Chains A and B, each alone.
Chain A
Amino acid sequence: MKAMKELTGVAAALRMINIDTDMIIPKQYLKTIVRSGLGKGLFHALRYDDNGNDRDDFVLNQEAYKNSKILIGGDNFGCGSSREHAAWALDDFGIKCVIAPSFSDIFYNNAFKNGMLLIRLPEDQVEDLMRQAEYGSNAQFSIDLEAQTVTTPDGNTHSFDIDPHRKHCLLNGLDEIALTLDKGEAIDGFEARQQQAHAWLTPAT
């Protein structure tokens, strides 16, 4: 996994609540067997018209926001299905950080596994961020993961919470599977105890 310590860039505001994973990446992109290349399908229905042309009214199509690294959304961002394609699509497009009042649990997990940072902030702060994001390409936000802060274009700093394990993995770009496999003995021990106590758990084949 890629490490992330700091991030500076333009933020795009998507003023909608309950942005679901079908919206982030619709089903026609789920037939892939690879992780890459999904950026073109990001927000498909919002982004393209019926003829496949860009819709001018969609924020990520506007010149100032085409290279956004940060996305600011409404409550319950990423609700719906478990498709990790949603995180892959955002990442492939170039979005490395999403800020919202709340996220669905599965999307939240998926994003971190892909080296993205999700930040929960109270609704009034998110509103302030959205307002400042509208200043366009001059409005640079900077995020410091070590210090757990978002600094807005007008110089205000908002602190955010993140659990220490996720922070550690992201700061150091750690591969979680390798970390877990290092605990092989603990897993062996668990399996032995479980087999002893609950032999019925091994399925009939």
Chain B
Amino acid sequence: MAATTLYDKIWNAHVVSTEPDGTCLIYIDRHLVHEVTSAQAFEGLRNANRKVRRPELTLAVVDHNIPTTDRSKGIDDPESKLQVTTLRDNTSEFGVEYYNELDERQGIVHIIGPEQGFTLPGTTVVCGDSHTATHGAFGALAHGIGTSEVEHVLASQTLVQNKSKNMLVQVNGKLAAGVTAKDITLAIIGETGTAGGTGHVIEYSGDAIRSLSMEGRMTLCNMAIEGGARAGLVAPDETTFAYLKGRPKSPTGADWDAAVAYWKTLKSDEGAHFDKILTLDASKIQPVVTWGTSPEDVLPITASVPDPMSFENEQKQASAKRALEYMGLTPGTALTDIPIDKVFIGSCTNGRIEDLREVARIAGGKKVADGVHAMVVPGSGLVKKQAEQEGIADVLLEAGFEWREPGCSMCLGMNPDRLEPGERCASTSNRNFEGRQGHGGRTHLVSPAMAAAAAVTGRLTDVRTLG
């Protein structure tokens, strides 16, 4: 039999039917739903008198819109409130399991899927959200869809798809101290550009990837979309199985054994064909930071703000010039000389327990710099509880961080957490687009360790220089 990739294998196992032109109907095993991209889909079902085909394969949660302060007294913003109650009503009408804003299992949709054992290796996972790529960390084929497709999945448990191409990103060697999964994923986008993965599914491999924890692999795959790829994948291994064992929705008993036996077959064959290959030396990756308004605008923290004229073509030069104006930066400024106003720690990229431990490790015993507002938003209620039990919350509160309720928060500022015009933020989220964190806000994407370092010094800082 011809050698196939991990992506080929999962794809082949989910083809329901194929059209003469190659378009396929693909079965969807897991569907996650949140309040922002689902209302119009349920409305569509209702208008056409359709049901949800298999409600038990869909899990719904509120995350984007909800405040991260005390929620027991309800939501002030009437529009946010309407979106939240609409999801509540839709899930109850259509029989879908739903975690509301007071449920301890509530959190960012891409954090709770894995946490509950809903996300499993070898499955197809979709959600009306581009960062669905996160779930690829488990060796699941996971990608974001639009609202029309959400409706399609609800009605039929399938999607009409064309197969993507295969791309391999190998990261070999050992990471240096102070360098994390976030730096790897940003460094990759720095290499490929934001469109480098368009039309492809990326498989990440190499010993640097193998040695990442599940949290690190989720951070890595989360940003596959920022490199343009539909999905990122890491082949499942013992680390994956250990993470999943005993989770509420993980298989148990004989089912678990059968599942693990199957999951062990999920890897690319020797000699399988990849349409694109990128190889990186892990030891050369440094802690990075973005300077512009696209995730590809990335540089090692030791570098300086670039000169727009140094870019290869006119379009890129114009784009860099616009980015620097927006960011209020002057070419030649050392990145470590850039003062910040805010620090945001959280999001589906870096809102997991390991991320919070890292922040506590760097900031513990220090103080948030004067004039800096630093906010920690755990990715889920369970992450929050665990961090409180481990004493992380106390360490961070003592250092002067704010400790919030779980949600998307200032990753996109749909709730009250946002940057004011001109404010500069070191953020562990995934998008530095203009206005993303608030109109006129200036975002520098960094790892949790680098965000912690920035919080205590009040400027972008090389975490390796902190004693």
Q: Do A and B bind each other?
A: yes
Q: Which residues of A contact B (CB under 8 A)?
A: 15-18, 20, 22-23, 26-27, 30-35, 45, 74-76, 79-84, 87, 102-106, 109-110, 113-114, 163-165, 176-177, 180-181, 183, 186-187, 190-191, 194, 198-205
Tell me which residues across on chain A come within 8 A of B361, comparing CB atoms.
none
**Inter-subunit contact B40/A200 (CB<8 Å):** no
Shortest distance in angstroms between A43's beta carbon and chain B's nearest beta carbon? 11
Chain B: CB-nearest residue to A81: B130
**Inter-subunit contact A33/B82 (CB<8 Å):** yes
Q: B428 near A: Cβ within 8 Å? A: no
Partner of A87, one of B146, B228, B413: B146
- Please report which residues of chain B, range 314-334, place their CB below 8 angstroms from some CB of chain A when the two chains form the complex: 315-316, 318-319, 322
Known contacts A23-B434, A177-B156; A201/B123 CB under 8 A: yes
A168 to B25 Cα, complex, angstroms: 16
26 interchain pairs (CB within 8 A)?
Answer: A16-B322, A22-B435, A31-B80, A32-B79, A76-B194, A79-B194, A82-B37, A82-B144, A84-B148, A104-B198, A106-B143, A176-B148, A177-B50, A180-B152, A180-B155, A180-B158, A181-B155, A190-B16, A200-B255, A200-B258, A200-B262, A201-B123, A203-B249, A204-B248, A204-B252, A205-B56
Minimum-distance CB pairs A-B, first 7: A110-B146, A113-B148, A84-B146, A33-B39, A200-B251, A31-B79, A82-B144
Tell me which residues across on chain B come within 8 A of A198, comparing CB atoms.
258-259, 262
**19 other contacts beyond A31-B80, A106-B143, A163-B23, with CB at 8 A cut-off?**
A18-B194, A20-B433, A26-B435, A76-B194, A81-B431, A82-B129, A83-B37, A104-B198, A106-B146, A106-B230, A113-B146, A114-B148, A165-B19, A165-B160, A177-B151, A183-B17, A187-B53, A200-B120, A205-B56
Chain B: CB-nearest residue to A74: B315
Tell me which residues across on chain B come within 8 A of A163, comparing CB atoms.
21, 23, 162
**Inter-subunit contact B130/A106 (CB<8 Å):** yes
Q: B176 near A: Cβ within 8 Å? A: no
A75 to B319 Cα, complex, angstroms: 12
**Inter-subunit contact A183/B25 (CB<8 Å):** yes
Tell me which residues across on chain B come within 8 A of A187, comparing CB atoms.
16, 25, 27, 53, 156-158
